[in-house]
Amino acid sequence: MLPQEFIRVKRDGEKHTRDSMEEFFSQYLNGNVADYQISAWLMAAFLKGLDDEETFWLTEQIVNSGEKLDLSDIDGIKVDKHSSGGVGDKVSLAIVPLLASTGLVVSKMSGRGLGHTGGTIDKLESIPGLRTEFSTEEFKALLRRAGLAIVSQSESLAPLDKKLYSLRDVTATVESLPLIASSIMSKKIAVGSDLVSLDVKLGNGAFITSLEDAKELCRIMMSLAEQFGRKVEIHVTDMNEPLGCSVGNSLEVIEALEFLKGKVENRFATLVKELYKDTVNSTGVEAPDVDQLIASGKPLEKFAQMIEAQSGDPKVVEDYSLLPMAKSVHELRAQQSGYLTFVDTKEVGMAVVELGGGRKKKEDNIDHGVGIKFLVEGGSKVDAGDIVALVYFNNENTLNSALKRLEHAFTITETEPQERPLIWWSSYQ
């Protein structure tokens, strides 16, 4: 088969065969299909779409391109948590130890941040000494020892996805729902967890802004899970404002720790508790009362155990001064009275990138100590002169760039904004 013939099939809106997809992607991995030919196919698939069978075949090729992680020799019910990413989304830092404190084994492979969304791995690496790079056997040893682990994505797991994603990122084909679904599910299928908990973000701070698109993505992922024999639960959650008060690596670690101490009551805390309840119940185990569980101190203890198992300093759970923190703080004040209304949450994430807390290119280093802490949530009433947010910075130039971004992120309105659901849709509905 000539690569151009395969590309032409999708360009003309026709359907691939399973054999042709296997040959095309195998030849790509062998170096006999060029990146520019894959890019042409990605655009054809973006414009013409892939049906459910083609999406399954693509996912199958991605899964089979690398190793599979067998967790069957680890005792307990294994849960894998995944989020599509958003601004201030530190849910994994809070829910992983919360779930593990019930006796579940929580295995999570995460990525680094790129663009406006922060990466869970970057946040964890704020903690002194903490490792995130582990071999497959080391990862399994962590799970046996502590019952939980959050580590970097294995290089040997679904390598075809990594190659495809890097091209999607530079060819404006990231938003294709079948390509998103195959990318997410291939990595989850390659890891043998008993339950995959998926959190799809929706809103002006997420990659998906339409509820219709979010539901369609969920449908495709549930179809893939069924075909591969995996159990999934899915929530579509709100990302029309930062999740919680903090955006930035160290700041988000602190907010997650404060939640585990029972000291946080906001949309972030509410969401974590809802996801916790549904996830535990999905395993067939009755979820212990979340507030009593937090009050027992077990989730915080689990977080400390995970940090220590991954070579980090567990003292950080009590001593936040061990975390890197910016040397300067700018007070961002309301220019008028009214209601705080987020209109472009992505700009909050990009403001943190401007401060140095995120990446514009994959090879960029990041400053774990910078970020933004909002003192009020969206929809809150503020008076002129009130401090809306604290901007943590190390450089005046980066501060000015961040403040320009924040000018477009939110506004103060005379009328109270309409209340939005925290969970737009779930597989339980």
Q: Which residues does 40 contact at the CB level (< 8 Å), separation at least 6?
A: 7, 11
pLDDT digits (tens, 9 = 90+) for 221-251: 999 999 999 999 999 999 999 999 999 999 9
Measure the CA–CA gap between 93 and 256, rounded to whole angstroms: 6
- Per-residue pLDDT at 362: 67
Closest to 271 in 3D by CA, of 11, 77, 88? 88
Closest to 242 in 3D by CA, of 233, 250, 252, 232? 252
Q: Which of 80, 122, 161, 199 is catalytic?
A: 161
187 catalytic? Reply is: yes
Q: Which of 92, 183, 186, 197 is catalytic?
A: 183
Measure the CA–CA gap between 208 and 214, rounded to whole angstroms: 7
48 catalytic? Reply is: no
pTM above 0.85, yes or no: yes
Find where tokens 């701070």 sit: 205
Q: Strands 423-426 and 232-238, how do they pair?
A: antiparallel
Q: Which of 123, 187, 201, 346 is catalytic?
A: 187
Q: Which of 78, 90, 123, 168 is catalytic?
A: 168
pLDDT digits (tens, 9 = 90+) for 291-300: 999 999 999 9
12 catalytic? Reply is: no
Q: Which of 82, 112, 267, 346 is catalytic?
A: 82
How much of the chain exceeds pLDDT 70, in percent? 99
Q: Which residues does 219 contact at the CB level (< 8 Å), separation at least 6?
A: none
pLDDT digits (tens, 9 = 90+) for 154-189: 878 889 998 998 888 778 888 899 999 999 999 899
pLDDT band at 285 (very low <50, low <70, confident <90, very high): confident
183 catalytic? Reply is: yes
pLDDT digits (tens, 9 = 90+) for 9-68: 999 999 999 999 999 999 999 999 999 999 999 999 999 999 999 999 999 999 999 999
For the record, the structure tokens of 299 come out as: 């989730």
